[in-house]
Amino acid sequence: MGIGVKESGMDTPEGNEEHYPEKELTERIIGAAMAVHEALGPGLLESTYESCLARELELTGIQFKRQLELPIEYRGTLVDCAYRIDLLIEDSVILELKSAERLLPIHEAQLLSYLKLSGKKSAFSSTSMSRS
């Protein structure tokens, strides 16, 4: 979990925090993800990491929503297409957890779709199968 991180939708030039207002929050999220990964190690179900990360976020005082439905608007109607954001943190950062050895282009495409559909500006994926 915190080792394989792929960020999408963020222009983050070094030393230019006004372009990346979620920098501090993202660092706290990554720290929480790394704590879970260090405690559990690789190889468990994505749902296990999500539950434990939710607990870690609670302990650190970070607000979040789990498995948030993400409907699309089609011809004036909201349609539930089974899109679910794993974690929406502080109503600004989308976090998708992957129980995979590495992140693939399809994972980045998923993040970009979630950014577009949600109107959020920051998202990243975290893997839980990274080798130490």
Q: What is the DSSP string of 25-48?
A: HHHHHHHHHHHHHHHH-SSS-HHH
> Is residue 69 in a domain?
yes
Q: Where are the beta strands (DSSP E) in 44-112?
A: 64-69, 72-74, 77-79, 84-89, 93-98
Domain extent for 88:
5-127
> Is residue 102 in a domain?
yes
- Token output for 25: 């929050």
What is the count of structural domains for the chain? 1
Whole-angstrom distance, CA of residue 52 vs CA of residue 19: 31
Provide the sign of the torsion angle of the four alpha carbons 130, 35, 82, 77, taken in this order: negative
> Is residue 132 in a domain?
no
Q: What is the pLDDT of residues 7-51, one digit of tens each?
A: 554 444 455 555 666 889 999 999 999 999 999 998 899 999 999
The whole-number average pLDDT for the span 68-83 is 90
Query: Dihedrals φ, ψ of 35, to 5°?
Result: -60, -40
> Is residue 20 in a domain?
yes
> Is residue 22 in a domain?
yes
> Is residue 80 in a domain?
yes
Q: What is the pLDDT of residue 23?
A: 87
> Is residue 63 in a domain?
yes
Mean pLDDT score of the chain: 84
The whole-number average pLDDT for the span 65-79 is 93
Q: What is the pLDDT of residue 6?
A: 45
pTM value is: 0.80
